[in-house]
Amino acid sequence: MAIYLLQITPVARSQGRNAPASAAYRAGERLRNERTGAVYDHRGRDDVLHKEIMLPSDLEESAAAQWARDRSTLWNEAERAERQSNSRVAREYMMALPSELSAEERVALARTFSREIAERYHVAVDLAVHAPRPQGDSRNFHAHLLTTTRQITPEGLGAKTGLDMDDMVRAELGLLPSRKEFTAVRARWAQMTNEALERAHVAARVDHRSLEAQGIDREPRPQLPRAAIAAERRGERSEIAERIRARYEERVAARQARRELRQLQPVPAREAPATRGREDLAYQSAQNWRMKYGGQAHRAPSALDEAHQAALNWRRYREQQMKEAPDAAGDAARQARQEWQKYREEHAKDAPDPSVSGQAENTLQLELTRRDRGHDYSL
């Protein structure tokens, strides 16, 4: 099945990275960083299936812009254009290419996306298509797009552009915020991939949205660090990889338990009120808390917050009642205090925890008892 993957990351000096090193590795070439004097030689790579540098269409035939066709010149210019120690000198787009496509179709898909990025942001795009490693997954065809963070011009590099442009500048230009731009690029890659699969008469499709947004009830598969993957490929044990897999199995088991609990204890249907007042919100919060966590507040980090919010909702509702009908509300408050004291005395021996977490749970249990019995207790 086709897999969606598009990772967009900056090449930043703050991470110890630089543009010539990144370009040399992806293109399988030998490049020298003229700023530091370091040399990066990756000519031994045999998995680079295709590589080329693309420019915006208005500079394709420009003789003055041909300086950007040279990989060493381009990326050393990107280094010279940045002055700060934490500058982002390049941006990388790494995407999975469907193994269901032919070699020519995969390269064509990567070139089409590269062309769109070059046009969209007016940048130089250094494309490299890689084959799967012999010791890895045989379906792992992928492409790396290394782009400049500044606009390309015949004279050199200009202003920051694309995802590296400041949001205030983007707003002044009438552009989307960078977060929405990021999502738009991901959606566009999914669309282009599906169009390529359709042209190849392949039924598989990809989706850039989260599993939850797609309505799929399963845990996302874990991502292992590159160092952990490399260690296991060498036959070494990786404790990091083992911990990640163990946590993943725990999440899968927990999700399955929640699924079974929902089947065994369905939420009872209730008639929808004409308007949802504070009382309904408090009751619904309490119900959600009970169905989701039961009596295991100490195991769920967010359970205490939800319990506390439910109690606050209910208290605000009762305070509002006191303002509107002081006498009746005062009687109800006095009765509530008496009932609450009685409840605490009767259930003190059963309280799982005298801490705030235990109090929050007991508060919610009282609210649920009030609802079940039809009494008008106040919190």
- Residues 149, 89 within the same domain: yes
- Residues 77, 122 within the same domain: yes
Helix (H, G, I), strand (E, B) or coil at 274: coil
The answer to whether position 111 is within a domain reads yes
- pLDDT tens digit sequence for 286-332: 666 566 555 444 444 454 565 566 666 766 776 676 666 555 545 65
The Cα–Cα gap between 291 and 190 comes to 37
- pLDDT tens digit sequence for 125-183: 999 999 998 877 899 999 999 999 999 999 999 999 999 998 898 888 888 899 999 99
Tokens coding 26? 């992806």
- pLDDT tens digit sequence for 212-252: 888 888 888 888 888 898 888 888 999 999 999 999 999 99
Our measurement of the distance from residue 172's CA atom to the centroid of its chain's CA atoms, rounded to an integer in Å, reads: 27
Phi, psi dihedrals of residue 58, rounded to the nearest 5°:
-75, -10
The Cα–Cα gap between 28 and 248 comes to 35
Q: Give all strands (DSSP E) within 148-260, no chain letters.
A: 150-153, 156-160
Q: Which residue has the tokens 């099945």?
A: 1
Q: Which residue has the tokens 């999700």?
A: 255
Domain that holds residue 355: 278-373
The answer to whether position 116 is within a domain reads yes
The Cα–Cα gap between 292 and 159 comes to 51
The answer to whether position 84 is within a domain reads yes
CATH of the domain at 54: 3.30.930.30
Q: Which helix (H) or strand (E) holds 234?
A: none
Average pLDDT over residues 33-45: 96
- Residues 53, 195 within the same domain: yes
The answer to whether position 99 is within a domain reads yes
Q: What type of residue sits at position 22?
A: S
- Residues 312, 239 within the same domain: no
